[in-house]
Structure 1
Amino acid sequence: MSSSELASFAKDIYTQSAKYQGWLTSRGAVPVEGATTTLTLRANSTQPVRIIRMSAIKECAQPLNGTYFQPPAEGGAEPNIMLGVDLDTSDSIFQEMYHNESGLLPSGPSYFDQNTVMLNPGETQTFTIGAFTKLYSCSFKVRIYVVGSGPAVYQDIDCAGTSFKITAPARTKNPERPLSGYQTAYGRQGDYTAPEWIRLDPNSVGK
């Protein structure tokens, strides 16, 4: 992007969250290392059902290494059931998430080892879902196991017809240059209301 294109991006796109998200989506952007979304589930049966398990059905490959855009700051916590999945593990079960100085992280044990979620007919439950990887680029769907009056069944949840996607940071060429694995990089200066976006040299940005 040229300087004028970056200035237009900062003024007309970045400060409008819906427009910014649409801009990223249209260019195939993928969150780096960790991302969250919300899922609202509704019981459509005539009898109560229990959600007994969640897992990620995934396909993973090498981390992406194209163009890096400095991500925006994360928002605050939401009052939902908060579950995260570590896509670097073999089973990729959903765990309870917690906050630390780095943000949201999965806690370790499976949430559903100790809990189930009961839904009465027509009742809804919203989950904040996090996905994390330090090793791969992954696409995945959320598989939800439910039991009612009969045997357990499952349903796969995706993102508007496509898989959810996330990537680990590109593998660095120089450990002292965290962006050195990328072909191109862009970062911002200033506050959110008046940001200035600049092109970065991936091989010069230090830790």
Structure 2
Amino acid sequence: MKVKRLSESNSWAFAAAPGLSAGDLAALNAIPAHTEAHAQWLRRRGGVDVTETDIEIVARGNRDRPVRIMGMKADTECRKPLSGAYFESPSAGAPEKIVKIGLNLDEPEPRGKAEDENGNWNGDYFQQNTISLKPDEGIVFHVKAWTLEHYCRFSIVLEVFDRGVMVGQAINDKTGPFQVTAAIEVPDDFGGTRTRFGRYDEVYIGGVANPDHSGWIEVDPSRYERQLTP
């Protein structure tokens, strides 16, 4: 089993304000965005993906006989969203991957969902599909796990049917459970939501959010929220 974190999004939240110096920001801005090195720099300092996290799992048959993957679920531990710091860098688009599975971590018992032709996640993927792996045969899953309400630590569990017995194969990140947090949001006047930047101790903006396009810069949380509020 091989696990790879994908770097499609570039917005992050922290449990505690990291208090980055000008030198820290210069070091971060020297690393190209949407790369594994950029993501790892932030994760090493406590950064957590915002709203959704993308994970690539390569499963390979390691028995001397075929086995079937019958399901996927998430074991979760969730609480209120992180509020220490927020790094805002809206995505300008992401490449498509194949063999997609969705996990809604706000559900009591998240199970792997199928994506329909409109990009919506519905039903249990494995109620319509079972995957058989022959010895040394591999398959790649692109798992998108999301939360709109919580900060979640979670493991992904593959349910494997082998010789008449269902076995759970737990999958974690390199250093422990995967993590993702919701942004702190409130309803807006247009039927959607807006981020409450003023609820964070520190806010940094980058990408298309930074009008100077000069990488990450620190802004005053309350003032930045007022600038964005109609």
Aligned-residue RMSD, C-alpha:
2.5
How many residues get paired? 198
Q: Which whole-Å deviations, capped at 9, do the CAs of 1:83-138 have from their partners, x for residues lacking one? A: 010011111111023586xxxx6512110111111111110000000111010000
Note the C-alpha offset of 1:69: 1.0
Given candidates 145, 154, 168, the residue that maps to 2:168 is 154
Note the C-alpha offset of 1:3: 4.6
Q: Look up the match of 1:201.
A: 220
Distance 1:69 1:182 in 2: 10
1:120 aligns with 2:139: no
Q: Which whole-Å deviations, capped at 9, do the CAs of 1:38-83 have from their partners, x for residues lacking one? A: 00001111111110011000000110001111246352111x2100
Given candidates 151, 167, 173, the residue that maps to 1:137 is 151
Distance 2:47 2:195 in 1: 22
Superposition map of 1:10-159 within 5 A: 10=29, 12-15=30-33, 17-71=35-89, 73=91, 74-78=93-97, 80-97=98-115, 107-159=121-173
What are structure 2's unaligned runs of at least 5 residues?
1-19
Which of structures 1 and 2 has the larger relative contact order (alpha carbons within 8 angstroms, sep 6+)? 1
**1:44 partner SS:** coil
1:84/1:106 contact within 8 Å kept = no
Could you tell me which amino acid in structure 1 is paired with residue 133 of structure 2? Answer: L
2:61/2:67 contact within 8 Å kept = yes
2:184/2:195 contact within 8 Å kept = no
Distance 2:207 2:137 in 1: 45
